[in-house]
């Protein structure tokens, strides 16, 4: 008789020594790119088979080659492939998978997807659908925080009644109570979509309408609410794990303050400048909210830290975070491995409990930079295309999570993240030194990436000093006209240096396109150095 998926989940095998074996025999990875590769590797380390899904744009992708089996789910547009719940469930059942890991992005925080996985008799590797429903609604999460004595960012706790003309005065009264400037925010999503900054009362009506429309388009829910803008602020999040017994622990915090348009660019653990008492207090606040919501598996509670040092609860992300790796490096603990064990119904492991016990007194420091196919010199515009040269750093304390190789094409249809470069060292200064070295070793040609921006960060004195806020990028990279002029001049100087070198060496000895050929135009590296010093990458074709 055939064994059903639910029976396989409920009956994990045992090794001959009596220790429980793989949490699941076969897992479908409902994602692509570097996170799919990360999850597939975790499956193989746990002795589980991994099933990949792919669109027509990803037929030859790394996650497809690495998996034990791959299932096509549709054409390149996400709505026709990676966002098709029915196609993904069908692929899982057809492949004989008994669990589904959503990674992050795409369907990871869609309660409807988690419910469909559960209804199919499969295990969802993440918080259950009811937790995603409860915590995915920011207003519900804010009310949950208040119920357990955790202060959220001052604002409203119910949706703004923008379809009720008779409530205009009430909305204005709420806004005056909160104070200007304030933010209009979407209740059902994040990433800055549906968010509007309102500096004066006159701007509020239009911001409510446009924010609601964008939220409805992005999340299928146009509910918006009002929240005080805290500036300058630091964005600090706490990594959480919960099991079926109701136990919730914090593995440490990460500083994600370096953002642009509410998109994170650099993350580090632990958050600089916090005392042991600060950390214990912050971790306790996060655990309190998560426990009240019945958290299981992995999630992250996000907070803003005000200039006076107060922590204000923002929201809970009910999924694995892009930046989970820096916590893994500092904690010495594999979060993804634990996710699979928790999804199989096992309690928090001894390793997880030990990592939580030392979280307030971390040993070492880790920083992650997100390399994306974007041009930081042109307002971070997307730059899809073919990668012609791809050299990632290595050496002590360096970890690179990627699914890209030389010759691969970065599709225009998906997120621009192509690699995460992480470094780990004994303290923050040493970690920044290691980051600078690692980024100087990195070489990418064919497309422009955010590498120049990250080299700039690694050399910036205010970043080293820990002078961080969510406005840092706007102030230090986007803002100063003097920097832009200097960067343009340095780029021109780099080109002239390359030309001088070609003339000196003789045109016949220099390839027509030295960047693509992977040959430095000069033996002494003047052209390379001038580009590095100006935070300008090699010119793509």
Q: Is the pLDDT of residue 270 over 50?
A: yes
CA dihedral 61, 63, 67, 69 (to 10 degrees): -50
Q: 506 burial class (0-12, 13-18, 19+ CB within 10 angstroms)?
A: exposed
Among 533, 524, 386, which residue's Cα sits nearest to residue 452?
533
Beta-sheet strand order (sheet of 196-198):
196-198, 182-186, 224-228
Is residue 392 within 8 A of residue 369, CB to CB? The reply is no
* Buried b or exposed e, range 356-378, using 16+ CB within 10 angstroms: beebbebebbbbbbbbbbbbbbe
Top-confidence residue, 64 or 535: 64
Nearest-5° Cα angle at 255, 250 to 259: 135
Q: Phi and psi dihedrals of 402, rounded to 5?
A: -155, 165
Q: Is the pLDDT of residue 252 over 70?
A: yes
| Confidence at residue 136, expressed as pLDDT on a 0 to 100 scale | 81
CB count, 10 Å around CB of 62? 20
Least confident of 109-113, 136-140, 338-342, 389-393: 136-140
Q: Is the pLDDT of residue 514 over 60?
A: no
Which pair of tokens denotes residue 181? 């400037």
Q: Please state, in angstroms and rounded to a whole number, the distance separating the CA atoms of residues 244 and 370.
A: 33
In the annotation, is 65 catalytic? Answer: no
Is residue 251 within 8 A of residue 303, CB to CB? The reply is no
Q: Phi and psi dihedrals of 68, rounded to 5?
A: -75, -25
Q: Please state, in angstroms and rounded to a whole number, the distance separating the CA atoms of residues 420 and 369.
A: 6
- Number of H-type helices and E-type strands within the chain: 20, 22
Phi-psi region of 96 (alpha: psi -120 to 50; beta: other; left: phi over 0): left
Q: Is the pLDDT of residue 540 over 70?
A: no
The pLDDT-based confidence of 218 (bands split at 50, 70, 90) is confident
Top-confidence residue, 496 or 257: 257
Residue with tokens 């099991």: 243
Q: Could you give the percent of the chain with pLDDT greater than 70? A: 85
| Confidence at residue 137, expressed as pLDDT on a 0 to 100 scale | 85
The count of C-alpha atoms lying within 13 angstroms of the C-alpha of 392, restricted to the half-sphere facing its C-beta, is 20
H-helix or E-strand containing 141?
A: helix 138-147
What the chain holds in terms of domains, given with CATH numbers, is 5-125 (3.40.50.20), 154-228 (3.30.1490.20), 234-478 (3.30.470.20), 481-533 (no CATH)
Strands (E), 353-472: 365-372, 374-375, 381-382, 385-386, 389-391, 398-402, 409-410, 417-425, 443-445
pLDDT tens for each residue of 8-46: 333 333 333 334 689 999 999 999 999 999 999 999 999
Helices (H), 251-308: 276-292
The pLDDT-based confidence of 108 (bands split at 50, 70, 90) is very high
Q: Please state, in angstroms and rounded to a whole number, the distance separating the CA atoms of residues 348 and 481.
A: 51
Phi-psi region of 67 (alpha: psi -120 to 50; beta: other; left: phi over 0): beta
| Confidence at residue 501, expressed as pLDDT on a 0 to 100 scale | 62
The number of angstroms, rounded, from the C-alpha of 12 to the middle of its chain's C-alpha atoms is 31
H-helix or E-strand containing 198?
A: strand 196-198
The pLDDT-based confidence of 190 (bands split at 50, 70, 90) is confident
Q: Angle of helix 138-147 relative to helix 129-136, nearest 10 degrees?
A: 90
Q: Please state, in angstroms and rounded to a whole number, the distance separating the CA atoms of residues 156 and 178.
A: 8
H-helix or E-strand containing 270?
A: none
Among the options 319, 370, 434, 455, which is catalytic?
Answer: 319
Among 427, 201, 238, which residue's Cα sits nearest to residue 323?
238
Q: Is the pLDDT of residue 251 over 80?
A: yes
Residue with tokens 């005065």: 169
Q: Please state, in angstroms and rounded to a whole number, the distance separating the CA atoms of residues 39 and 54.
A: 15
Q: Please state, in angstroms and rounded to a whole number, the distance separating the CA atoms of residues 85 and 53.
A: 12
Q: Is the pLDDT of residue 512 over 70?
A: no
DSSP-derived letter for residue 152 is B
The count of C-alpha atoms lying within 13 angstroms of the C-alpha of 17, restricted to the half-sphere facing its C-beta, is 2
Top-confidence residue, 533 or 348: 348
Residue with tokens 């929201």: 315
Q: Please state, in angstroms and rounded to a whole number, the distance separating the CA atoms of residues 148 and 359.
A: 22
Q: Please state, in angstroms and rounded to a whole number, the distance separating the CA atoms of residues 392 and 196.
A: 38
Q: Please state, in angstroms and rounded to a whole number, the distance separating the CA atoms of residues 521 and 70.
A: 43
pLDDT tens for each residue of 363-405: 999 999 999 999 998 999 999 999 999 999 999 999 999 999 9
pLDDT tens for each residue of 480-494: 554 555 556 555 665
Q: Average pLDDT over the chain, rounded to whole?
A: 88
Q: Please state, in angstroms and rounded to a whole number, the distance separating the CA atoms of residues 136 and 315.
A: 8
The pLDDT-based confidence of 262 (bands split at 50, 70, 90) is confident
pLDDT tens for each residue of 274-291: 999 999 999 999 999 999
| Confidence at residue 276, expressed as pLDDT on a 0 to 100 scale | 98
């Amino acid at each position: 008789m055939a064994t059903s998926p639910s029976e396989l989940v409920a009956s994990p095998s045992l090794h001959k020594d009596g220790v429980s074996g793989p949490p699941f025999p076969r897992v479908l990875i409902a994602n692509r790119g570097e996170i799919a590769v990360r999850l597939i590797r975790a499956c193989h380390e746990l002795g589980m088979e991994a099933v990949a899904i792919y669109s027509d744009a990803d037929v030859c992708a790394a996650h497809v080659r690495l998996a034990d089996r791959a299932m096509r789910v549709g054409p390149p547009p996400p709505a026709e492939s990676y966002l098709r719940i029915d196609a993904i469930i069908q692929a899982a059942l057809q492949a004989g998978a008994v669990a589904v890991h959503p990674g992050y992005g795409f369907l990871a925080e869609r309660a409807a997807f988690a419910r469909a996985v559960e209804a199919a008799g499969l295990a969802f590797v993440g918080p259950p659908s009811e937790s995603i429903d409860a915590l995915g609604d920011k207003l519900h999460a804010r009310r949950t925080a208040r119920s357990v004595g955790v202060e959220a960012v001052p604002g409203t706790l119910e949706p703004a009644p923008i379809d009720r003309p008779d409530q205009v005065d009430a909305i204005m009264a709420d806004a005056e109570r909160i104070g200007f400037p304030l933010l209009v925010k979407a209740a059902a999503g994040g990433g800055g979509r549906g968010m509007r900054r309102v500096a004066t009362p006159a701007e509020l009506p239009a911001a409510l309408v446009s924010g609601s429309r964008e939220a409805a388009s992005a999340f299928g829910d146009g509910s918006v609410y009002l929240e005080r803008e805290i500036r300058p602020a630091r964005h600090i999040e706490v990594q959480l794990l919960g099991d079926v017994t109701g136990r919730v622990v914090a593995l440490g915090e990460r500083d994600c303050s370096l953002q642009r348009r509410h998109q994170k660019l650099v993350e580090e653990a632990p958050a600089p400048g916090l005392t042991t008492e600060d950390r214990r207090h912050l971790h306790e606040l996060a655990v309190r909210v998560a426990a009240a919501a019945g958290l299981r598996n992995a999630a992250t509670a996000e907070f803003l830290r005000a200039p006076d040092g107060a922590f204000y609860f923002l929201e809970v992300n009910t999924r694995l975070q892009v930046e989970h790796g820096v916590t893994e490096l500092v904690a010495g603990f594999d979060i993804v491995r634990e996710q699979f064990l928790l999804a199989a119904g096992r309690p928090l492991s001894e390793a997880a409990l030990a990592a939580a016990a030392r979280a307030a007194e971390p040993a070492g420091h880790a920083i992650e930079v997100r390399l994306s196919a974007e041009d930081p010199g042109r307002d971070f515009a997307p730059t899809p295309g073919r990668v012609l040269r791809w050299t990632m750093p290595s050496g002590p304390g360096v970890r690179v999570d990627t699914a890209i190789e030389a010759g691969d094409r970065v599709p225009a249809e998906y997120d621009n993240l192509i690699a995460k470069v992480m470094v780990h060292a004994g303290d923050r200064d040493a970690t920044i030194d290691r980051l600078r070295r690692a980024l100087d070793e990195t070489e990418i040609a064919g497309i422009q990436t955010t590498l120049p921006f990250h080299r700039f960060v690694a050399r910036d004195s205010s970043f080293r000093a820990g002078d961080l806020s969510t406005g840092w990028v706007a102030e230090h990279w986007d803002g100063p006209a003097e920097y832009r002029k200097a960067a343009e001049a340095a780029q021109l100087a780099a080109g002239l240096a390359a030309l001088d070198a070609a003339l000196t060496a003789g045109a016949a000895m220099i390839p027509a396109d030295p960047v693509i050929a992977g040959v430095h135009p000069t033996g002494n590296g003047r052209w390379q150095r001038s580009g590095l010093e100006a935070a300008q990458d090699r010119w793509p074709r």
